[in-house]
Amino acid sequence: MPRTLAEKVWADHVVSLGEDGAPDLIYIDLHLVHEVTSPQAFDGLRLAGRPVRRPDLTIATEDHNTPTWDIDKPIAEPTSRTQIETLRKNTEEFGIRLHSLGDADQGIVHVVGPQLGLTQPGTTVVCGDSHTSTHGAFGALALGIGTSEVEHVLATQTLSLKAFKTMSITVDGDLPEGSSAKDIILAIIAKIGTGGGQGYVLEYRGSAIRQLSMEARMTICNMSIEAGARAGMVAPDETTFEYVKGRPHAPEGEDWDAAVEYWKTLYTDEDATFDREVVLKAEDIEPFVTWGTNPGQGLPLSASVPSPDDFADENDKASAANALAYMGLTPGTPLREIEVDTVFLGSCTNSRIEDLRAAAEVVQGRKKAENVRFMVVPGSAKVRLQAEAEGLDAIFKDFGGEWRFAGCSMCLGMNPDQLADGERCASTSNRNFEGRQGKGGRTHLVSPLVAAATAVRGTLSSPGDVKDLPRDAAPAPWPEERATLPLTPTPTSANA
């Protein structure tokens, strides 16, 4: 029987089939752990006297709470410090490898997995984090799970799962200049809505997806959860194999050949059917920004702030009215005229080397808008090192930006990187929820290209808006001594 990619990967991991409507028991190839959603799971194991079944299929990193300045000093915030220390104790007690702050492989869990070559086609990947969908870019079935399930996987290396429905999202054609993977996924979410993917595994297909690099595919799969989906996937191809090859945990020699032979079987059969099919034309996808407080409330940058009256559904109308009040926006205002206070380049969506290169290309030789704070937070210590080797750090610093250490940072503000009340941010992260980046903070989700152009002009902008601006700004003085900078450049009282 013809099968979809997701069905193939599922079938290859069935430990036992559920009977009478019970879920299947699915084997998990890779379990990624971080400090926020794991402490209660380890406690549960201790209480029940259970070991971790497969520490050799489990890996941990510190990311959500880690500071992006002064990483050589003790973490100042006591509860953040306790959570990190708890992870260190737990991983030591249960024999799990941990990439701690300061380790070259420390960073956002969804950047670290692929970077190490642990994320591979046809694997099942889980993590107590909804953005685990990122790993689907490799043709892995990658699921975000809650803490009870984290404990379940630690104890059994399996999950009880009900089969998902499948949805194909086909994007054909070529993206216009200035648009990127982020705009594709924001356009998809605006089209199907934040609940459109509920119960589904999405498979991204079509010539526009095939042309994308692995990092761009990760950006798209990352935000599958923002469409409500359990997972997103892209069938592996030569681009995938090339990316995995030679990474620290990639198969070698005969193992490599056997792996590639298997990986080449991981595609949706021609006659297979999806439960739902969605089609987008790449040519139509302009640089996209969100105006509201959920990721489905987005529009092309050329549009204006909508009015609640533009929505037919009563819930959508009320939701838009709430969002506009929270965001401090007036219907009819062109999106391009919205001034921002902060630009955040980072998060598991857009903090990889290609994201930094794309932004650096826009800002090189320019000066940031005077009143804008521009934060660059690489996704991992490795990405930071690579960017420095390529001179990207100097470009960002000359532009007037802040070059930070790796972590989740202002995507969710569990560390000191937060927006102040009322502060407006163009952010390459994934969620524009109320208060997500700091109490009262206002978030517009954008691509790295739009983030960079916005930092140049000070209002939401596309690269096209800045392409005729000169690139002759003299480098700004940058203090050699990091200690001369304040710990957090703008007041962040949100954590009080």
Partner 1 sequence: MEAFSTHTGIGVPLRRSNIDTDQIIPAKFLKRVTRTGFEDALFYRWRTNDEFVLNDPDFAQGSVLVAGPDFGTGSSREHAVWALKDYGFRVVLSSRFGDIFRGNSGKEGLLAAQLEQDDIELIWKILENHPGTPITVDLNEKTVTCDSITVSFQIDDYTRWRLLEGFDDISLTLAKEADIAEFETKRPGFKPTTLPAKV
Show contacts with partner 1 in window 317-356 (CB under 8 A): 318-319, 322
**Strand extents, DSSP E, 258-332:** 276-281, 288-290, 298-300
- Whether residue 381 contacts residue 107, with contact meaning beta carbons closer than 8 Å, is answered with yes
Among 3, 70, 210, 262, binds partner 1 (CB under 8 A): 262
- Residue 419 corresponds to which tokens in the numbers above? 């927006």
Minimum CB–partner distance for residue 97 and partner 1 (Å): 5
Minimum CB–partner distance for residue 453 and partner 1 (Å): 28
Which residue number, 149 or 354, has a Cβ lying nearer to partner 1? 149
Residues 81-140, interacting with partner 1 (CB under 8 A): 82-83, 86, 97, 116-118, 120, 123, 128-130
Among 11, 16, 93, 325, binds partner 1 (CB under 8 A): 16
Three-state secondary structure call for residue 84: helix
Which residue number, 53 or 210, has a Cβ lying nearer to partner 1? 53
Helices 39-48 and 78-94: crossing angle, nearest 10°?
A: 40
- Whether residue 53 contacts residue 154, with contact meaning beta carbons closer than 8 Å, is answered with yes
Among 2, 92, 162, 493, binds partner 1 (CB under 8 A): 162
Beta sheet of 158-161, edge-to-edge order? 14-16, 24-27, 158-161
Which residue number, 2 or 195, has a Cβ lying nearer to partner 1? 195
Among 88, 100, 103, 160, binds partner 1 (CB under 8 A): 160
Cβ-in-10-Å burial (0-12, 13-18, 19+) of 302 comes to: exposed
Among 61, 68, 91, 157, binds partner 1 (CB under 8 A): 157
Q: How many whole angstroms separate alpha carbon 385 and alpha carbon 474?
A: 25
Which residue number, 432 or 461, has a Cβ lying nearer to partner 1? 432
Which residue number, 256 or 478, has a Cβ lying nearer to partner 1? 256
Among 11, 22, 76, 389, binds partner 1 (CB under 8 A): 22
Q: How many whole angstroms separate alpha carbon 439 and alpha carbon 461?
A: 25
Minimum CB–partner distance for residue 102 and partner 1 (Å): 17
Cβ-in-10-Å burial (0-12, 13-18, 19+) of 446 comes to: buried
Which residue number, 122 or 287, has a Cβ lying nearer to partner 1? 122
Minimum CB–partner distance for residue 495 and partner 1 (Å): 6
Residue 343, H or E segment? strand 342-345
Which residue number, 253 or 470, has a Cβ lying nearer to partner 1? 253
Minimum CB–partner distance for residue 198 and partner 1 (Å): 6
* DSSP code per residue over 87-145: HHHHHHHHT-EEE-TTSTT-B-HHHHHHHTT---TT-EEEESSGGGGGGGGGT-EEEE-
Name residue 31's beta-bridge partners: 58, 126
| Cα–Cα distances in angstroms (integers) from residue 349 to residues 216, 328, 413, 479, in the given order | 9, 26, 15, 30
Size of the site for partner 1 (CB under 8 A): 89
Which residue number, 80 or 179, has a Cβ lying nearer to partner 1? 80
Which residue number, 80 or 342, has a Cβ lying nearer to partner 1? 80
Nearest residue to 112 (alpha-carbon basis) of 380, 351, 357: 380
Among 80, 179, 290, 409, binds partner 1 (CB under 8 A): 80
Q: How many whole angstroms separate alpha carbon 56 and alpha carbon 95?
A: 9
Three-state secondary structure call for residue 491: coil
Among 3, 18, 311, 336, binds partner 1 (CB under 8 A): 18
For position 444 contacting partner 1 by CB under 8 A, the verdict is: no
Binding flags for partner 1, 32-71, as an x/- string (CB under 8 A): ----xx-xx--x----x-x--x-xxxxx----xx------
Q: How many whole angstroms separate alpha carbon 180 and alpha carbon 217?
A: 10
Among 7, 62, 63, 151, binds partner 1 (CB under 8 A): 151
Minimum CB–partner distance for residue 162 and partner 1 (Å): 7
| Cα–Cα distances in angstroms (integers) from residue 411 to residues 121, 379, 435, in the given order | 28, 11, 11
Residues 199-238, interacting with partner 1 (CB under 8 A): 199, 225-226, 228-230
Minimum CB–partner distance for residue 480 and partner 1 (Å): 31
Minimum CB–partner distance for residue 437 and partner 1 (Å): 10
Binding flags for partner 1, 389-428, as an x/- string (CB under 8 A): -----------------------xxx--------------
Residues 287-316, interacting with partner 1 (CB under 8 A): 294, 315-316
Q: Which stretch binds partner 1 (CB under 8 A): 29-37, 269-277, 279-287, 386-394?
A: 29-37
Which residue number, 201 or 216, has a Cβ lying nearer to partner 1? 201
Among 431, 442, 444, 457, binds partner 1 (CB under 8 A): 431
Residues 354-393, interacting with partner 1 (CB under 8 A): none
Query: 236-264 burial by CB neighbour count: b if 16+ within 10 A, else e?
Result: bbebbbebbeeeeebbeeeeeeebbeebe
- Whether residue 211 contacts residue 233, with contact meaning beta carbons closer than 8 Å, is answered with no
